[in-house]
Chains A and B, each alone.
Chain A
Amino acid sequence: MAERPKTTLTSPDPAFLAEVEAFENRTLTPEEFSARASTPMLAHEREELADHVSWFVRRHPSAAERFRAITHLTRQWLANR
């Protein structure tokens, strides 16, 4: 049986990252914005969100703990992307 090729993960090209960031931070027209903001949430999205919020608040009961957790996670994400 042929050996499976190894997958090597590499950091994305900084130029590509900058492009993605610019896309995420783009300015929508008022019409685009309203359409996106008023997209109804599907039943499974609502359920998942309720689960996430319930877990988050149980795990981090005070706002101070929630701030600390989010700061930590965001920094971790920024460092590893």
Chain B
Amino acid sequence: MQGDPFDEVAFFRAIAESGARVLLIGRRALVALGLPVMTSDYDFWTTADDASKLNDALRPLSLVPKSRSPEEARKVGKYVLEGDDTVADVFVARAISTIDGVQVSFDDLWTRRTHVKIKDDVEVAIPSLDDLILTKRFGARPRDADDIRLLQWLRDRKPH
């Protein structure tokens, strides 16, 4: 993949070493699990307390919060980390509601989290398969529903 200087291993190593509680969600989590779906950015979920640790860890990699102050991000529940050729959407909330009105708590997902190896000794935390399916109900786009079908397929074929 020439012409792509972004170092995924350094990116996830920085997140892991930051000590911040950060979950990779969205389509990148599906890709991490082996599902080939198109996406151009990263989606993370963290808490307001952990967001500053995350920002500090990614600043040396030239990823910086775009426009919103930490207070604004907390109010809106989301901010964007932007680098030269990488964008990461960061959800900042204790809980997020699904389209059906189910409150999904970050702490619960964090407790049930699982890890995916990025490469060598670097790992990233992602929600369990059931929880990842739940996070896909935050949005109500057709592709979120399609992703749920993929995740259900993955869950059903995994040995219990």
Contact = CB atoms under 8 A, between A and B. Distances in A.
Interface of A: 24-30, 33-34, 36-37, 39, 41, 46, 49-50, 52-53, 56-57, 62-75, 77-78
Contact of A57 (B34, B100, B119, B149): B34
Given A34-B100, A53-B36, 18 more contacts: A27-B140, A33-B137, A33-B145, A36-B145, A36-B146, A49-B150, A56-B35, A57-B34, A63-B8, A63-B119, A64-B9, A64-B119, A67-B28, A70-B31, A71-B1, A72-B1, A74-B38, A78-B40
A46 B152 CA distance: 11
Contact of A41 (B6, B35, B149): B149
Contacts of A69: 1
28 contacts: A24-B142, A26-B142, A27-B141, A28-B142, A33-B99, A33-B145, A34-B100, A36-B146, A37-B144, A37-B146, A37-B148, A49-B150, A50-B157, A53-B35, A53-B154, A56-B36, A63-B32, A63-B116, A63-B117, A66-B32, A67-B8, A67-B28, A67-B32, A68-B1, A68-B8, A69-B1, A70-B39, A74-B39
Interface of B: 1, 4, 6, 8-9, 12, 28, 31-32, 34-40, 99-100, 116-119, 122, 124, 136-137, 139-146, 148-150, 153-154, 157
Contacts of B31: 63, 66-67, 70
For the complex of A and B, 8 pairs with smallest distance between CB atoms: A36-B145, A37-B145, A37-B148, A64-B119, A64-B8, A56-B36, A63-B32, A62-B119
| A interface secondary structure, majority | helix
A74 to B, nearest CB: 5
Interface of B is mostly: mixed
Contacts of B146: 36-37
B4 A72 contact: yes
A37 B153 CA distance: 11
B38 to A, nearest CB: 5
A37 B149 contact: yes
Contacts of A26: 141-142
Contacts of B142: 24, 26, 28, 36
